[in-house]
Amino acid sequence: MVKQTNTQMTVPLSGRALLGWRILQAVFLVAGLGILALLFFAPQPGIHAFWNGLIPVAPLLLVLLPGLWRNVCPLAFSAVLPHRLGISKKKRLSVARQGKLMLTGVVLLLLILPWRHILLDTNGPATGLVLMALGAVAFYMGFRYEWKSGWCSGMCPVHPVEKFYGSRPLAPMPNAQCTSCHNCVIPCPDSTKFLQPQKQGNTRFHKLAATLLVGGFPGYIWGWFHIRDYYGTEGLRHILFAYAMPLAGMAFTLALYLFLREIIRVEKSLLTRVFAAAAVTCYYWYRLPALIGFGIFPRDGMLVDLSAQLPHFLPYLLQVATLLFFSWWLLWKPHTQTSWTIRPPFVGSRE
Ligand code: SF4
Pocket flag, ligand 1, residue 340 (CB < 6 Å): no
What pLDDT sits at residue 161? 97
What pLDDT sits at residue 27? 97
Instruction: Give residue-wise pLDDT tens across range 183-242.
Output: 899 899 999 999 899 888 889 999 999 999 999 999 999 999 999 999 999 999 999 999
The backbone region for 336, taken as left when phi is positive above 0, alpha when psi lies in -120 to 50, beta otherwise, is: beta
Q: Whose CA is nearest to atom 2 of ligand 1?
A: 181
What pLDDT sits at residue 348? 58
**C-beta of residue 344 within 8 angstroms of C-beta of residue 180:** yes
What pLDDT sits at residue 199? 87
Query: Rounded to whole angstroms, what are the CA distances from 228 to 49, 237, 249, 289, 329?
Result: 19, 13, 16, 15, 30
Cα 178 to ligand 1 centroid, rounded to whole Å: 6
Q: Is residue 20 part of a domain?
A: yes
**C-beta of residue 344 within 8 angstroms of C-beta of residue 178:** yes
Cα 323 to ligand 1 centroid, rounded to whole Å: 34
**C-beta of residue 163 within 8 angstroms of C-beta of residue 77:** no
Name residues whose C-beta falls within 8 Å of residue 50's C-beta, 6 or more positions apart in sequence. 35, 39, 127
Element (H, E) at 173: strand 173-174
Which of 190, 192, 343 maximizes ligand 1 atoms within 8 Å of its Cβ, making it the mutation to test the pocket?
190
Answer yes or no: is pLDDT of 346 > 90: no
Report which of 324, 277, 68 is spatially closest to residue 269, judged by C-alpha positions: 277
Which of 1, 4, 101, 188 maximizes ligand 1 atoms within 8 Å of its Cβ, making it the mutation to test the pocket?
188
Count of the separate structural domains present in the chain: 1
3-state helix/strand/coil string of 196-250: CHHHCCCCHHHHHHHHHHHHHHHHHHHHHCCCCCCCCCHHHHHHHHHHHHHHHHH
Q: Is residue 155 part of a domain?
A: yes
Q: Is residue 151 part of a domain?
A: yes
Q: Is residue 83 part of a domain?
A: yes
Answer yes or no: is pLDDT of 336 > 90: no
Q: Is residue 186 part of a domain?
A: yes
Answer yes or no: is pLDDT of 124 > 90: yes
Cα 46 to ligand 1 centroid, rounded to whole Å: 33
| Domain that includes residue 236, residue range | 15-257+336-342
- Side-chain-side CA neighbours of 197 within 13 Å: the count stands at 32
Q: Whose CA is nearest to atom 8 of ligand 1?
A: 184
What pLDDT sits at residue 299? 86
Instruction: Give residue-wise pLDDT tens across range 5-54.
Output: 444 566 677 788 889 999 999 999 999 999 999 999 999 999 999 999 99
**C-beta of residue 284 within 8 angstroms of C-beta of residue 322:** yes
Question: By three-state DSSP, how is residue 191 classified?
Answer: coil
Q: Whose CA is nearest to atom 6 of ligand 1?
A: 188
Q: Is residue 3 part of a domain?
A: no
Pocket flag, ligand 1, residue 200 (CB < 6 Å): no
Q: Cα angle vertex 292, ends 290, 295, to 5°? A: 25
0.85 cut: is pTM over it? yes
Q: Is residue 40 part of a domain?
A: yes
Pocket flag, ligand 1, residue 165 (CB < 6 Å): no
Pocket flag, ligand 1, residue 88 (CB < 6 Å): no
Pocket flag, ligand 1, residue 183 (CB < 6 Å): yes
Q: Is residue 183 part of a domain?
A: yes
What pLDDT sits at residue 8? 53
